[in-house]
Amino acid sequence: MHRADLGFIGLAVMGQNLVLNMERHGYAVAVYNRTTTRTDEFLERNPGLKLIRAATLAELVDRLARPRIVMIMVQAGPAVDAIIADLLHLLEAGDLVIDGGNSHFKDSDRRAAYIQAQGLDFLGVGVSGGEEGALWGPSIMPGGARAAFVRVEGLLTAISAKAPRDQAPCLAYMGPRGAGHYVKMVHNAIEYGDMQLIAEAYDLLHRGLGLTNAELADTFAEWNEGELDSFLIEITAQIFRAMDPLTNQALIDVVLDKAAQKGTGKWASQDALDLGAPIPTINAAVVGRILSSLKSERIQAADRLPGRADGQWTGDREEGKAAIRDALYASKISAYAQGMALLSTASAEYGYELQLGEIAAIWRGGCIIRARFLEDVMCAYQRDRILPNLLLDPAISAAVGARLPSWRRVVSHAVLMGIPVPALGTSLAYYDSYRTARLPANLIQGQRDLFGAHTYERIDRPGNFHADWSR
Ligand code: ATR
């Protein structure tokens, strides 16, 4: 009997498309899904391919060439543990288990130790690119033992996206244990930041400057030709053009303003707080989604709360648009600086040995945050591998500096108009805090020492001091 190169568990949309991607690159894949009708429908829709049906996990394992490779792509959480527990009864030492779902990095840390202790290999692999990416080439972030990665490097290279400029595969070994899922989590967190920033720019263009949907589509399409060139800006332009077949209005105008979340942004915020790593733009994006979900309260508050705004957008409309574009770009740089700094802190704390330049390189194509800007991020870390903060790179800081007047103008206009810009605002506050040599934290230390004798350090001599503040 012909044996499959790989066994695949979980045939939701991402799983199906990854399987088709592998098959297109010449791999024979045995497929299994808990609900068998899903497997059958998938095979019926895709006849004549090198796909082998498995009705049970035992059948799947039985169909595989040795040493076996099994990839799991199911709902993150207990389902993954349950499948691994079943697989461990069926597999043998030397086999490789890959978790390609959106698992929490701590689960991957735990599973790596547990599976490796049984003599099997484990990889926790972050995959980004949505349905299209899974089919035509995602960005792939594998973590685990390097030797395990080497076993599937050829396969993962084949199915990965290729970066636009140099056609380099959007795949690199990230580091041990949960390193791949950590990087995927931060990828998603940056995606949250990008989306919130773009949404705030939309609000300012629409409510502040009065742009119509057609004008918004043209504006974002134009921005996509310049330094903001990215997947998210491109789809934003597309969204403003879509019409609703039910009402014949612009589709965007009938979409309810409540944003959902699956939790990776929250995970990043939670872990960043644990690590003491500031990622305020991402936090603002997570909170922004939570606030958006309070729709009925917001409707009531809209009637009850005064919001007297002191300003209209003054000045030229084209100038206003350009300023918003600049503020968006500078904020995006600030958000990426926060995300990269989080990666660097986490790498030290968890021993992930992350290479920030390589991470930027493999985000250039395939994934949801793919953007021309990531080429600049990659170059910054090529110039200085241990750059403490992206903002300190000379080219990046010059790019921010050139946009600073617009950035300040846009945030202050927004505040005066009463249009909420939590992400644009806090991105700027992060930048201003980071470049302030003496923050008012001396007062906080004074307060802590006065009420709780927590002591303070001095600027002129070493040691910890406690003062009698009533003197
Ligand atoms: P999506 O939101 O894209 O549908 P998901 O809910 O994250 O994806 O994952 C769905 C996949 O995980 C499906 O393949 C699902 O199997 P079913 O088709 O049988 O529902 C699989 N899955 C979820 N929980 C599972 C479990 N406990 N055991 C096995 N597979 C499970």
For 78-102, give the DSSP string: HHHHHHHHHHHHH--TT-EEEE-S-
Number of continuous H segments (helices) and E segments (strands) in the chain:
19, 7
Residues 6+ apart with CB under 8 A from 201: 324, 325, 327, 328, 424
User: Bigger pLDDT: 309 or 226?
Assistant: 226
Mean pLDDT for all residues in the chain: 97
Number of Cβ within a 10 Å radius of residue 222: 14
| Whether residue 141 has its Cβ less than 6 Å from ligand 1 | no
Whole-angstrom Cα distance, residue 154 to residue 159? 9
In single-letter form, the type of residue at position 153 comes to E
Instruction: Say what angle helices 231-241 and 179-203 make with each other, to 10 degrees.
Output: 40
φ/ψ of 95, rounded to 5, equals: -75, 160
pLDDT band at 1 (very low <50, low <70, confident <90, very high): low
- The DSSP element (H or E) to which 106 belongs, if any, is helix 105-117
Query: Measured in whole angstroms, how far is the alpha carbon of residue 38 from the centre of its chain?
Result: 29
Please check whether residue 83 is in contact with residue 70, taking contact to mean a CB–CB distance below 8 angstroms: no
Q: Say what the pLDDT of residue 336 is.
A: 98
Question: Per residue, what are the HEC states of 355-367?
Answer: CHHHHHHHCCCCC
Catalytic site includes residue 234: no
Q: Say what the pLDDT of residue 14 is.
A: 97
Query: Measured in whole angstroms, how far is the alpha carbon of residue 90 from the centre of its chain?
Result: 35
Sheet of 51-53: strands edge to edge?
A: 51-53, 29-32, 6-9, 69-72, 96-99, 121-128, 139-144
Catalytic site includes residue 258: no
Which one of the listed residues 131, 162, 184, 353 is annotated catalytic?
A: 184
Q: Which residues pair with 319 in a beta bridge?
A: none
Q: The whole model's pTM is what?
A: 0.97
Q: Say what the pLDDT of residue 138 is.
A: 98
- Residue 314: pLDDT above 90? no
Residues 6+ apart with CB under 8 A from 204: 324, 410, 413, 414, 419, 421
Average pLDDT over residues 237-248: 97
Whole-angstrom Cα distance, residue 188 to residue 368? 8
pLDDT band at 2 (very low <50, low <70, confident <90, very high): confident
The C-alpha angle 338, 344, 345, rounded to 5 degrees, equals: 90
Per-residue pLDDT of 332-358, as tens digits, reads: 999 999 999 999 999 999 999 999 999
| Whether residue 16 has its Cβ less than 6 Å from ligand 1 | no
| Whether residue 34 has its Cβ less than 6 Å from ligand 1 | yes
Query: Measured in whole angstroms, how far is the alpha carbon of residue 279 from the centre of its chain?
Result: 13
Give the CB-side neighbour count of residue 148, counting CA atoms within 13 A.
29
Q: Of the residues 13, 16, 73, 74, which should be mutated to test ligand 1's pocket, given the most ligand atoms within 8 Å of the CB? A: 74
Whole-angstrom Cα distance, residue 71 to residue 315? 57
Whole-angstrom Cα distance, residue 125 to residue 170? 13
| Whether residue 85 has its Cβ less than 6 Å from ligand 1 | no
> Quick one: 465 exposed, middle or buried, by C-beta within 10 A (0-12, 13-18, 19+)?
exposed
Return the percentage of the chain with pLDDT > 70, whole number.
Answer: 100
Which one of the listed residues 44, 131, 153, 191 is annotated catalytic?
A: 191
Please check whether residue 234 is in contact with residue 224, taking contact to mean a CB–CB distance below 8 angstroms: yes
Q: Say what the pLDDT of residue 397 is.
A: 98
Q: Say what the pLDDT of residue 214 is.
A: 98
Whole-angstrom Cα distance, residue 175 to residue 219? 40
| Whether residue 33 has its Cβ less than 6 Å from ligand 1 | yes
Whole-angstrom Cα distance, residue 359 to residue 353? 12
Per-residue pLDDT of 38-63, as tens digits, reads: 999 999 999 999 999 999 999 999 99
Whole-angstrom Cα distance, residue 103 to residue 125? 9
Average pLDDT over residues 174-200: 98
| Whether residue 11 has its Cβ less than 6 Å from ligand 1 | yes
Q: Of the residues 75, 83, 128, which should be mutated to test ligand 1's pocket, given the most ligand atoms within 8 Å of the CB? A: 75
Q: Say what the pLDDT of residue 399 is.
A: 98
Whole-angstrom Cα distance, residue 134 to residue 150? 21
Residues written for the chain:
471
Q: Report the separation in Å between the CA atom of 282 and the middle of ligand 1, taken as the mean of its atom positions.
A: 28
3-state helix, strand, coil in the chain (%, to 5): 55, 10, 35
Of 190, 138, 204, nearest to 407 by C-alpha is 204
pLDDT band at 308 (very low <50, low <70, confident <90, very high): confident
Atom 30, ligand 1: residue with shortest CA distance: 34
User: Where do the H-state alpha helices sit in 242-387?
Assistant: 264-275, 280-292, 295-304, 317-350, 356-362, 373-383
- Residue 307: pLDDT above 90? no
Atom 27, ligand 1: residue with shortest CA distance: 79
Residues 6+ apart with CB under 8 A from 468: none
pLDDT band at 313 (very low <50, low <70, confident <90, very high): confident
Return the percentage of the chain with pLDDT > 90, whole number.
Answer: 97
- Residue 108: pLDDT above 90? yes
Cα 45 to Cα 37, 54, 293, 410: the distances in Å are 12, 16, 38, 51
Q: Say what the pLDDT of residue 289 is.
A: 97
Q: Report the separation in Å between the CA atom of 148 and the middle of ligand 1, taken as the mean of its atom positions.
A: 25
Which atom of ligand 1 lies at the shortest distance from residue 78's CA? 27
Residues 6+ apart with CB under 8 A from 119: 93, 94
Of 83, 32, 91, nearest to 67 by C-alpha is 91
Average pLDDT over residues 201-223: 97
